[in-house]
Chain A
Amino acid sequence: MTETCPPEASQRIPMLVLGGWLGSGKTTLVNRLLAEAPGGERIVVFVNDIGEVDIDAGLIAARSGDTVELTNGCACCSIGDSLGAALRDQVLSPDPPDRIVIEASGVAEPDRVAAYGDRRRIRPDGIVVCVDATDVVRCAGNRLTGRLVHRQVAAADLLILTKCDLADDGGAAALAWCQGETEAPVVTSPVLRSEGGSWVDLVLGGMERLDAAEISHHEPPEPLDFPLDATLWSPSYPVAAEAVAAALAEVASSEPALLRAKGVFADGVVHLAAGRVTVDPRPDGADPTGQLVLIADFGWDRRRACFDLGRLTR
């Protein structure tokens, strides 16, 4: 039993579940997340694997992170591993991670994986499901694999269409399939291309706060074009998180296309999501960058936004 009190909700560790069929690009995306995560952020990757460990875990380049390998097979065949227990061990350790990413097995249902973890200490940070543009239509129609592929996609908060560059049609058929799936009432996820880089910010920024329904219904994404744009606001002077938050709230109220923002400052972390600006304490070990990452629909006035942020914080 633990003796420490549960931390404040804002200090809960975000937990992202990355699902999708084997070969759909999950490991590539994990490596991108590890490579592009803010400096100093410690990410622990749980590989929830069933005998594919040589294929998956071995390929994860744990830049600043750690990898915990699990097997959740049938108890008759592999007694012992428990994702819940492994999460507990990491979160309650003296050096808990700043972020948890669970790479679900290719045959797992990601929403079932996302149900693990003490909610007083872990903040569900969304389910991202990779879809292989070259293979998803075949997998979805296959007698052995089809039902599970549909369930995986249906569970997603965000679908990431991968390998569009390798598909003969640039991924058009796969995108159409995804959009067909997302018309189902349970799924309202946007489809993003992995070649665009900004999904990393979206994923790392906190999926929980992203109103996926709003984005997916905003505008049908231009086929094969990433619908969002990102920019960086970096003031050359020291600035307090509260001041940034106040400025950001004002900018957001006049720029509806601005969807997400996040920045780590010396005295706190500033978020914008779903129209709300919040300031969280800066986690230990998260180096302040003094910068704000801004994500918005194309066509927004980024110069004006940066100008206003500067004007309001000086």
Chain B
Amino acid sequence: MITVFTARRVHTMDLSLPEATAVAVLDGRIIEVGSLDSLQPWLSRHDHVVDDGFADAVILPGLIDPHVHPGLIALLLACEWVTPEAWDLPGRHVPATVGREAFVARLYELEAFHPAGEPLVVYGWHAQFHGELFRDDLDAISTDRPIVLWQRSFHELRCNTPALAWLEAEEGAEWDPHIDLEAGRMWESGMGFGLRILNPHLIGGEHLGQRLEEMIRMVHGGGVTTIGDPGYAMADLDHYLDALLSVHEGANVPFRQYLIPAIFRYRLEFGADHAEKLAQHEALATDRIRFLHAAKFFADGAFIAQLMQVGPPGYIDGHEGAWMANPDRIADHIRPSWEQGRRIDIHVNGDMGLDAALDAIDMLLHEIPRFDHRTVIHHFGLSTQAQSRRMAALGVSVQANGYFLNLFGDAFVDRWLGAERASQITRVGSARRNGISVALHSDLPMGPLLPMKAASNMSTRLTLSGEILGLEERLSPYDAIAAVTIEAAWQLRLDHEIGSLAAGKQADLVVLDGDPFELDPTAWPDIPIRATVLGGEVYPCD
């Protein structure tokens, strides 16, 4: 039976037929996009129903977030959240909290209502937005209950006295230089020491599955019908995949999920058997959860934590970034996957990290030329004009974090890079001018899983303080929407299946109560998402 979804307008994101008013679906796939009139050759010959529930709404291809970490968000969903930006989490709205006073007031409130005896773990503290908070400040809130603040960039914990005892920090401080008992700080590997207790508390046993179940609603609420997870699972791949396959598969799950292995995690966990183990995992693919013939690699450190490798003149305060892989050897890491014809995803944040990644791809292209290799640079914090052109020449595309500029641009102007370079954070406009594919991601939980918000950020280049940073680097409204639909699909090598609406493709749709092409991009995050459609099945949003 054919189902015809009618709409005030359909944006296909295929410029061959950019607009329509009806989408006809059979067995999960689109058989034609057009109008009720143009569909008559089908409808006059086959049984059909017209679903006009969306007749006053606007249909786009289901949104795609190609870089999401369900495993990490599962961990954080077990925490309370007090963040500098607003979040919609399953069952709770987290308002933006800025300023030390507001943050501390919120902590008192959370402590008062937290179940007796339970440690209070709060995610989202960031000194830039909330001021400094040390052990004494947290002891003022409670000296009985462990209180742990988990920093917004993930690299640090701040603890009160009971929390230090709970996380065995006193002993840890003997072994790890990154634990400061007096200040209540546990950072980097010192945080790793605390996570040995914190992680099982948050997602041990059945908890992982429960939290993964909760995050289904986050994906749906963002209007997202496909996610990618490059580098799935933080540790214990078998345990993670077990939980994922049992929770994120089934008719109740309104999205497709594509997993991309981080080869080094397999090597660490399985040693010499890593290739065999990966093949075993890839054979576990189900309807909803698939493995891409791709692989993820790393160049330099994190953006939010200012660990990206920045070339001259460097950071204003003179600190140095970090390498996550030896910049000389990235090609060696990639080579086996390149030889297998895998698509390559590289985590890159700074311009020096980008040089290292591009050097590697340059070398591999000379060794084993590949057409249509679709290598993708993920995050894309800082880059240069020369690098845009070089990326175009090498056929490397951009998958930018859609939130770096909005959330952290102000701080990078004031403290880390200055106005010129901070304005060029995620310079997606240059990429488009050079004909490079640009997609956007959240890197959930680094940014919220709201592709319309990411698209808005990159179309407006507004920061939290309301400044516009790098006007010339903005995306056109069309390119911004393409970046969360067809360009994301192309980068995943799935553009024949998803990302635009055309005969033969999956019937994955998002139904909006407003037309983004009639509204200013600043209004996009507020357009209500009425429903998503996955393979022709309607999933209404609350």
* Cβ B189 vs Cβ A84 within 8 A: yes
Known: A75-B192, A80-B195, A144-B355. A51 touches B264 (CB 8 A): yes
User: A74, A143, A145 — which one has the most chain B CB atoms within 10 A of its CB?
Assistant: A74
| B163 shortest CB reach to chain A, Å | 16
Instruction: Select which of A21, A69, A76, A87 is within 8 A of B175 by beta carbon.
Output: A87
**Distance from B329 Cβ to chain A, minimum over Cβ atoms (Å):** 6
A82 engages B347 (CB within 8 Å): no
Give the interface size class of chain B: 35 or more
Interface centre among A57, A83, A84 (most CB of B within 10 A): A84
Measured CB to CB, the nearest residue on chain A to B172 is A84
Q: Is B395 an interface residue (CB 8 A)?
A: no
The chain A residue sitting closest to B329, CB to CB, is: A22
- Stretch from B298-306, B479-487, B493-501 forming part of the interface with A: B298-306
Identify B174's interface contact among A78, A118, A139, CB under 8 A.
A118
**Which residues of B from 189 to 224 have beta carbons under 8 Å from A?**
189-193, 195-196, 199
Q: Which of A50, A80, A112, A144 has the most CB of B within 10 A?
A: A144
Contacts of A80 in B (CB 8 A): 192, 195-196, 199, 234-235
Cβ 8 A contact of B298, one of A21, A75, A77, A116? A77
Say whether A72 faces chain B, with CB atoms less than 8 Å apart.
yes
Q: Mark A64-77, 1 if CB is under 8 A from B, else 0.
A: 00000101111111
Cβ contact within 8 Å between A82 and B193: yes
Chain B residues numbered 231-282 whose CB sits less than 8 Å from any CB in chain A? 231, 234-235, 262-265, 267-268, 271-272, 274
Query: What A residues does B309 contact at CB under 8 A?
Result: 144
Q: Is the CB of A2 within 8 A of B301?
A: no
Question: Whole-angstrom distance between the alpha carbons of A241 and B188 in the complex?
Answer: 45
How many chain-A residues does the 8 Å CB contact rule pick out? Answer: 49
CB distance from B416 to the nearest CB of A (A): 17
Query: Is the beta-carbon distance between B193 and A85 smaller than 8 angstroms?
Result: yes
Instruction: Give the contacting residue for A118; candidates B175, B297, B326, B355; CB below 8 A.
Output: B175
Q: Is the CB of B235 within 8 A of A79?
A: yes
Fill in one digit per residue for B139-183: 1 if any A CB lies within 8 Å of its CB, else 0: 000000000000001110000000000001011101111110000
A314 to chain B, nearest CB (A): 46
With an 8 A cutoff between CB atoms, is B323 at the interface? yes
CA distance A69 to B267 in the complex (A): 11
Contacts of A115 in B (CB 8 A): 177
Given the contacts A51-B325, A72-B189, A78-B265, A88 and B234 also touching, CB distance less than 8 Å: no
For chains A and B in complex, what number of residue pairs have CB atoms within 8 angstroms? Answer: 154
A78 to B155, CA, bound (A): 11
Cβ contact within 8 Å between B305 and A74: yes
B192, A81: Cβ atoms under 8 Å? yes
A107 contacts B by Cβ under 8 Å? yes
Q: A69–B172 Cα gap in the complex (Å)? A: 19
Q: Which residues of the other chain, A, contact B264 by a CB distance below 8 angstroms?
A: 50-53, 71
With A75-B191, A79-B234, A147-B320 in contact, is A85–B268 under 8 Å at CB? no
8 Å CB contacts to B: which residues of A7-21? 21
Chain B nearest Cβ from A58, distance in angstroms:
7
Q: Does B90 contact A (CB under 8 A)?
A: no
Contact surface of A with B, Cβ cutoff 8 Å: 1-2, 21-23, 49-55, 57-58, 69, 71-85, 87-88, 105-107, 112, 115-120, 139, 142-145, 147-148
Question: Can you list 22 A-B pairs with a CB-CB distance of less than 8 A?
Answer: A22-B326, A22-B329, A50-B326, A51-B264, A54-B274, A72-B189, A78-B235, A81-B192, A82-B193, A83-B176, A84-B179, A84-B190, A105-B326, A106-B326, A107-B322, A107-B323, A107-B324, A112-B177, A116-B177, A116-B189, A120-B174, A145-B328
